[in-house]
């Protein structure tokens, strides 16, 4: 949720709490009780939808990319050592152009094309790489593809959750508007209770942006220095 939505979500919580504390003031099954209950449901759904906006695939993919990077570095380093006795052996195992995902995957696929040759794989024997380093490399590449798909699913779910948040905010505000009318009727002659309601249903204003403050200060300095009002 963005700041605007978060402030409304917090207000929904305060209003729901007000309804629970003052439940004895309202008839069971009446309009006020109905709207308080509906607002509580909206707030609960909003919390779930807000959590759905967070992507969960980024960290996992970063870990997988780091593992692939280390695997490629180990294979490339070993190939360079072997090339001291077999010049040119390391030509197909050059270091990735960079450590971004696309470059790592291009390098890994190039390595795997060579490692399909039994004679090439045999040259790595005795250099303390894991016995299954080729299957591991294949699994690393496949896992990154799976993580990319998962992240895309999470991104699409996040977009859907964002739309849901907007709908729930609108529904919650409608419930608060119903309740505001009821509270003013109910507490017209109970000013202290009405003030409590107004405090609970108040939406905090966003803090003034630093850029706007800076612009205002600059404008005031211009007035002071020139004695004229900026247009």
List helix spans (H) across 53-132.
58-82, 101-115, 118-123
Structure confidence at residue 229 (pLDDT): 46
Q: Which 3 state secondary structure label does DSSP give 100?
A: coil
Instruction: Look at the chain and report how many structural domains it folds into.
Output: 2
Segments forming the whole domain that contains residue 95: 58-149
| 190 shares a domain with 160 | yes
| 206 shares a domain with 93 | no
Shortest CA distance to 200 belongs to which of 8, 11, 6?
Answer: 11
User: Which one has a higher pLDDT value, 147 or 107?
Assistant: 107
Q: What is the pLDDT of residues 58-103, one digit of tens each?
A: 435 666 787 788 889 999 999 999 999 999 999 999 988 888 888 9
What does the alpha-carbon distance between residue 179 and residue 160 come to, in Å, rounded to a whole number? Answer: 29
| 177 shares a domain with 129 | no
pTM higher than 0.75 for the full model? no
Q: Is residue 226 part of a domain?
A: no
């Amino acid at each position: 949720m963005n700041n605007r939505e978060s402030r409304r979500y917090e207000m929904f919580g305060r209003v729901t709490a007000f309804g629970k504390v003052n439940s004895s003031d309202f008839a069971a099954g009446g309009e006020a009780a109905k709207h308080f209950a509906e607002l509580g449901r909206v707030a609960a759904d909003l919390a779930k939808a807000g959590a759905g906006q967070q992507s969960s695939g980024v960290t996992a993919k970063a870990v997988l990319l780091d593992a692939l990077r280390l695997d490629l570095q180990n294979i490339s380093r070993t190939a360079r050592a072997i090339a001291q006795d077999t010049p040119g052996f390391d030509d197909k195992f050059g270091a990735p152009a960079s450590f971004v995902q696309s470059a790592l995957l291009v390098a890994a696929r190039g390595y795997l094309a060579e490692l399909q040759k039994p004679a090439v794989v045999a040259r790595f024997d005795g250099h303390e790489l894991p016995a299954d380093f080729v299957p591991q490399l294949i699994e690393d590449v496949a896992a990154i593809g799976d993580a990319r798909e998962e992240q895309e699913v999470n991104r699409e779910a996040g977009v859907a959750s964002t739309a849901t948040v907007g709908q729930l905010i609108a529904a919650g505000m409608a419930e608060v508007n119903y309740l505001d009318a009821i509270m003013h009727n109910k507490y017209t002659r109970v000013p202290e209770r009405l003030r409590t309601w107004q405090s609970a249903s108040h939406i905090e204003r966003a803090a003034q942006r630093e850029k706007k403050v800076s612009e205002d200060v600059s404008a005031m300095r211009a007035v002071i220095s020139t004695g004229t009002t900026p247009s």
